[in-house]
Structure 1
Amino acid sequence: MFSFGKVYRSQGPESQSDHSGKRLLNPQLADTLHQIQVEIGNSSDLVIRQFEIGGGNIQVAVVYMDGLVDTKTVNDFVIRSLMIEMDEIAIERMTKDKALFDVIRSNALTIGQVEVVRKWDEVILSLLSGDTLILVDGQIDAVACGTRGGDQRKVTEPSSQVVIRGPKEAFTESIGTNVALVRRRLKSPHLWVESMKVGKQGNTLIALMYVKDIVNDKIVQEVKKRLERIDIDFVSGSGEIEQLIQDESKTVFPTIFSTERPDSVVGNLMEGRIAIFVDGTPFVLLTPATFFMFFQATEDYYQRPEVATAIRLLRYGSLLISLFGPSIYIAAITFHQEMIPTLLLVSLAAQRESVPFPAFIEALIMEVAFEILREAGIRMPRAIGQAVSIVGALVLGQAAVEAGLISPAMVIVVALTGISSFSTPSYDIALSFRLLRFVIMISAGFLGFYGIAIVSIFILAHMCGLRSFGVPYMAPLGPFVLEDQKDTIFRFPFQAMFSRPRLISSKNITREDAPAGPTKPSESQGKGSE
């Protein structure tokens, strides 16, 4: 329920300024309240509660934004403390040695987070961030109480990175909750958190988290430098931060990893990476990132190494199918029929006898239709989205075959390609290969296997040239690091993974107690994307 305060007319001098030209608070309470209302635009959610303490001798105002604060905290620990517990006798006793403002700040408030603000910009920013301001008539300082709250989404299961065996918690849109979820798992005094604000209008809160005795200090400084260089009005999510601080913008490959799982963040922090939390988004950025990191699912570290290795090999095989499946079919049908077994070639020729399009156009039509169905299934309401995508694929595929527009073999190839793309743990890297699939299809339609080979070489060379905050994107295969192969394509037992990635962590390379003794998965669990 909104509260409306009176509009106070300015009766005293204008706000003062410090030596740097920054506006300071006006000691006249009525003028300060009037300036706040003008600054906020007389918004209906601005709440101003005025009252008197000390027997009616002292004018005090409590100011906050409705919906951004925890109303119960404001009423019980701020207003109640000032109006009821700070009676006239207590004030007389406490003000013998202290100024009234210090008494209110140090003795009267029963709330944990209290900060003194004087500059006008700090006052407005605290107010819009969910803090409650306490203004005292005749004082040029204000007390900002940490009462941030309001309606927020609860901690739920991950929606895009689901695991069968593992924690079921996911990040929310509250940066404080997200940082706490990581601290609950990693109870180390070396886990440092640094915060800053980005955006000239939005003042979005960003927090950097890293393990001090593991992380590379040069990478930390580089991340801070790039964040401080951001010159933008408003940041709406971690996706914008990722694009603004990445090494190379002219690439389809993600060079910064994103996850909504706290256990994934903990595992990567213990390898020397840096986590970037952005207020208002449930996805946390991890850097530096490598290509193979996007194929390491969280569940790999909750399964036995043999099972995890087999599943990883299956993912890499699915990657090859999703990237080259339609292109190989196009090249074989169009240019290299001699490579197809005779019986299979006869069967394919019989199927394509009534098809009016060449193999490239046929594949292009089916791939575009499949991408449309996939996008429609994502954007439609959850209750009918999945049904529409499945029914649409079946109906369109069957109708296209019966109409003689598409051969049955092409439907099989496109369906297998689409299903294989879903096995990639990271949605970001899967999008990259979905785009590259069309590029390779075009090259196969014009040059066959020769075109596929040329484009593949260019893609591989481009990937080898990418870096993520100075770390080679294809590490530890390019450059090759023998010790780090234990958790790249294969997943060795935890007893064998006794060192951290050497190109990421510059100190404390050896994991404690890892070479011998029972399995200790705490430092490696949750390193992947799911």
Structure 2
Amino acid sequence: MSVQQDKHNVSLEWIKDQLNGFADLIDRTLVAPFGQIDLLYIKSVADGQILSRNVITPFYEMENINAYHNYILTYPGTEEETTREKAIELLLSGYILLGLNDTFCFFDAMNREISGVNETSAESISQGPSDALTEDIAINLNMIRRRYQSTNLKMETMVIGDVSKTKVAILYDISRVDPNVLAELREKMNTLKVDILQAMGELEKFLSSDSLRILPKSIVTERPDRVVFNLSEGKVAIMLDTTGYAIVLPSIFNDFFTSMDDKIQLPIVGRFLKLLRIIGVCMTLWLPAIYVTLTAYNPEIIRVQVALLISGSRATVPYPSFVEVLLMLMMMEFLTEASLRLPKAIGPTATTVGGLILGQAATAAGLVGNIMIILVSAVAISNFLIPLNMMSLSIRVLKYIFLFAAAFLGLVGVVVCVVGFAMYLCNQRSFGQPYFRLFFLDNLGKKKGGEH
């Protein structure tokens, strides 16, 4: 290197040491007959076209190094006099460090990505940023780096897939991350053998060591702000080229019920909203099972008026309550899946009209009771309260386990399932971290490196 240090004690070696671990850090030396210059920049936040057009090409067109130096200094946005902290800040924001004539210049080549970034669709919130991750990993890294401008944010890259050759980036804050989590993740990624890798769900499944698990242990998100927040909590983010989602790990049970809106609202409001989601999960799991229990096994538990109301509603139903509940829940599953598969232009209308017609016709024909329609609607609505789709799908499946237990064992079956589910949660670990840490313990016993 021709440049070592200026009057502000900024050296290339010091800067490269600070940015050690940046897999997207580019260090180049351009050589011409009249001299050479040193280039240092972060590829994911610097615009390659600006670099080529305004930095590299003029260098080879100039007659001498002084003319090129004057050209760079007169270019709008160029910074020359700087400090160590400012130098790092400029590089992280997309500037290019140029070492020439025993001085440093910082050329503005920020990659201001606007086109190609869409709004979130699966994790919409009422406030906060609405941009979503894209299928281009370079754009995703740009959005993350612009939000998290710290030298502690490190990135590792690797290629997975013998056929697909998919590029994967692992991001973490070296000052906050748990080394044990990082070591376990590296071991799993290095031993991963797969031909084709195209979706985050595939990678999340491969990273899990438990093939019989029913609940997700890693968050799959499309929101860059959620990724940045979790990085600041000491977690690890995995980004995959060709997909607009990222994996955040380790993730505990409480994380799946946290919306980014909760971070914007007042603390009491945020806790209340999270409590609503927990209640919604309980309703989704327990309401169908409790209905079967009260109608088929233990009607004496409820008030006489309510028991008579349910009995009158089911007077024309020709089969047991378990069949009634199962039939309506399956119809709701069909409608939900149809809404996802149909074209967006007709999907919501077709499923809404179909649901209304089916519910009204089934009630009028005496196949199901009126109370059953209310119960199924409540179960569907409460399930949609869960902000992350992976947990929502898991809860949709789990409610059938509670339902079958109630059908065969009554109230005892429901109690056994509740106790067994709690024991299962307490026994789970997400990359070594306790999975069932309740939300009111978030601020207690927090170790360095985030939630544990």
Q: TM-score range by the shorter chain?
A: 0.7 to 0.9
Shift of 1:486: 5.3
Q: 1:153 touches 1:173 (CA, 8 Å); kept in 2?
A: no
Q: Look up the equivalent residue of 1:467 and give its one-letter code.
A: R
Residue by residue over 1:212-235, the C-alpha shift from the partner in whole angstroms, topping out at 9 and shown as x without a partner, is 111112211211111111111111
Shift of 1:182: 0.9
Q: Paired residue for 2:412?
A: 450
Distance (Å, rounded) in 1 between the aligned partners of 2:433 and 2:279: 26
Distance (Å, rounded) in 1 between the aligned partners of 2:219 and 2:160: 20
Q: Paired residue for 2:446?
A: 501
TM-score by length of 2: 0.74
Q: Look up the equivalent residue of 1:330 and give its one-letter code.
A: V
Whether 2:344 is the aligned partner of 1:382: answer: yes
Whether 2:390 is the aligned partner of 1:428: answer: yes
Residue by residue over 1:75-113, the C-alpha shift from the partner in whole angstroms, topping out at 9 and shown as x without a partner, is x86xx96xx9989xx9xx9xxxxxxxxxxxxxxxxxxxx
Distance (Å, rounded) in 1 between the aligned partners of 2:313 and 2:232: 55
Task: After TM superposition, list the pairs within 5 Å mapping 1:205-224 onto structure 2.
Answer: 205-224=167-186
User: How many residue pairs align between the two structures?
Assistant: 357
Q: Paired residue for 1:400?
A: 362
Residue by residue over 1:420-473, the C-alpha shift from the partner in whole angstroms, topping out at 9 and shown as x without a partner, is 100011111111111111111111111111001112222222222211111121
Q: Paired residue for 1:268?
A: 230
Distance (Å, rounded) in 1 between the aligned partners of 2:211 and 2:243: 22
Shift of 1:247: 3.2
Shift of 1:505: 3.9
Distance (Å, rounded) in 2 between the aligned partners of 1:391 and 1:310: 33
Distance (Å, rounded) in 1 between the aligned partners of 2:431 and 2:115: 33
Distance (Å, rounded) in 2 between the aligned partners of 1:344 and 1:249: 43
Shift of 1:501: 3.3
Q: 1:204 touches 1:278 (CA, 8 Å); kept in 2?
A: yes
Whether 2:156 is the aligned partner of 1:194: answer: yes
Q: Look up the equivalent residue of 2:311 and give its one-letter code.
A: A
Task: After TM superposition, list the pairs within 5 Å mapping 1:20-99 onto structure 2.
Answer: none
Q: Paired residue for 1:232?
A: 194
Q: Paired residue for 2:93?
A: none
TM-score by length of 1: 0.63
Residue by residue over 1:120-153, the C-alpha shift from the partner in whole angstroms, topping out at 9 and shown as x without a partner, is xxxxxxxxxxxxxxxxxxxxxxxxxxxxxxxx97
Q: 1:277 touches 1:285 (CA, 8 Å); kept in 2?
A: yes
SS at 1:193 equivalent: strand
Distance (Å, rounded) in 1 between the aligned partners of 2:115 and 2:211: 33
SS at 1:276 equivalent: strand
Distance (Å, rounded) in 2 between the aligned partners of 1:296 and 1:171: 19
SS at 1:180 equivalent: helix
Q: 2:119 touches 2:131 (CA, 8 Å); kept in 1?
A: yes
Q: 2:154 touches 2:171 (CA, 8 Å); kept in 1?
A: yes
Q: Look up the equivalent residue of 1:322 and give its one-letter code.
A: T
Q: 1:335 aligns with which of 274, 285, 297?
A: 297
SS at 2:346 equivalent: helix
Distance (Å, rounded) in 2 between the aligned partners of 1:504 and 1:385: 44
Q: 1:271 touches 1:501 (CA, 8 Å); kept in 2?
A: no
Task: After TM superposition, list the pairs within 5 Å mapping 1:126-525 onto structure 2.
Answer: 154-475=116-437, 477=438, 485=440, 487=442, 501-502=446-447, 505=450
Larger Rg: 1
Q: 2:293 touches 2:410 (CA, 8 Å); kept in 1?
A: yes
SS at 1:286 equivalent: strand
Distance (Å, rounded) in 2 between the aligned partners of 1:213 and 1:228: 23
Shift of 1:185: 0.9
Point out where structure 1 has 5 or more consecutive residues left out of the alignment: 1-71, 94-151, 478-483, 488-496, 510-530
Q: 1:247 touches 1:468 (CA, 8 Å); kept in 2?
A: no
Q: Give the RMSD, CA atoms, in angstroms.
A: 2.8
SS at 1:383 equivalent: coil
Distance (Å, rounded) in 2 between the aligned partners of 1:467 and 1:246: 11
Distance (Å, rounded) in 1 between the aligned partners of 2:137 and 2:234: 21
SS at 1:397 equivalent: helix
Q: 1:210 touches 1:272 (CA, 8 Å); kept in 2?
A: yes
Shift of 1:502: 2.3
Q: 1:289 touches 1:473 (CA, 8 Å); kept in 2?
A: yes
Q: 1:190 touches 1:211 (CA, 8 Å); kept in 2?
A: yes
Q: 2:240 touches 2:246 (CA, 8 Å); kept in 1?
A: yes
Distance (Å, rounded) in 1 between the aligned partners of 2:279 and 2:359: 25
Q: 2:175 touches 2:449 (CA, 8 Å); kept in 1?
A: no
SS at 1:382 equivalent: coil
Distance (Å, rounded) in 1 between the aligned partners of 2:183 and 2:115: 33
Shift of 1:485: 3.2
Shift of 1:393: 1.0
SS at 1:209 equivalent: strand
Residue by residue over 1:400-420, the C-alpha shift from the partner in whole angstroms, topping out at 9 and shown as x without a partner, is 011110011111111110111
Q: Look up the equivalent residue of 1:501 and give its one-letter code.
A: K
Residue by residue over 1:136-174, the C-alpha shift from the partner in whole angstroms, topping out at 9 and shown as x without a partner, is xxxxxxxxxxxxxxxx97111110000111111110001
Distance (Å, rounded) in 2 between the aligned partners of 1:185 and 1:85: 32
Shift of 1:321: 0.6
- Cα separation, partners in 2 of 1:325 and 1:504, compared to 1, 3 Å: farther
Distance (Å, rounded) in 1 between the aligned partners of 2:372 and 2:265: 36
